[in-house]
């Protein structure tokens, strides 16, 4: 169930800790069965993950109080460059591209659509992954 949730979820919360401060922030991500892949601009979370690369990510799917799934993964942050970054961005565009279509179709691959944030001028852009070292999850089913 953890694997299925990581593959289907569209958002998560990333937790990081550095210099006595804990920070939790929502993220968009893709999962490649080994790593969480992300794309962001420079800011507080990237500064903190550079300082302390040990992070956790919480993913959930909540239908109601009696039907939900939640998973937490722990891992190590790494910035990706060159071909590894290009591969990661491909996963992200495949995952989120169809969401940005006006009329999505199941046979239309996401790489044919470039989400607005990927194509905009945001300053320093950072492609990263979290190498998963541990996973846990819980669920409540009716």
* Angle value at C-alpha 41, between 22 and 19, nearest 5 degrees: 25
* Angle value at C-alpha 125, between 121 and 130, nearest 5 degrees: 150
Runs of H (alpha helix) within the chain = 2-8, 44-51, 82-96, 116-119
pLDDT in tens, 107-136: 555 555 455 554 555 567 899 999 999 999
What's this model's pTM, rounded to 2 decimal places? 0.81
The full DSSP string for 1-27 is -HHHHHHH-S-EEEEEEETTEEEEEEE
pLDDT in tens, 21-66: 999 999 999 999 999 999 998 999 999 999 999 999 999 999 999 9
């Amino acid at each position: 169930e953890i694997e299925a949730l990581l593959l289907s979820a569209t958002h998560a919360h990333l937790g990081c800790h550095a210099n006595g401060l804990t920070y939790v922030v929502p993220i968009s991500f893709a999962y490649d069965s080994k790593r969480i892949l992300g794309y962001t601009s420079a800011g507080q979370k990237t500064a903190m993950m550079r300082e302390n690369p040990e992070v956790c990510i919480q993913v959930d799917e909540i239908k109601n109080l009696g039907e939900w799934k939640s998973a937490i993964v722990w891992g190590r942050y790494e910035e990706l460059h060159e071909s590894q970054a290009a591969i990661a961005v491909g996963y992200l565009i495949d995952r989120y591209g169809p969401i940005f279509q006006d009329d999505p179709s199941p046979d239309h691959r996401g790489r044919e659509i470039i989400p607005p944030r990927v194509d905009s001028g945001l300053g320093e852009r950072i492609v990263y992954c979290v190498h998963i070292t541990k996973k846990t999850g819980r669920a409540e089913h009716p």
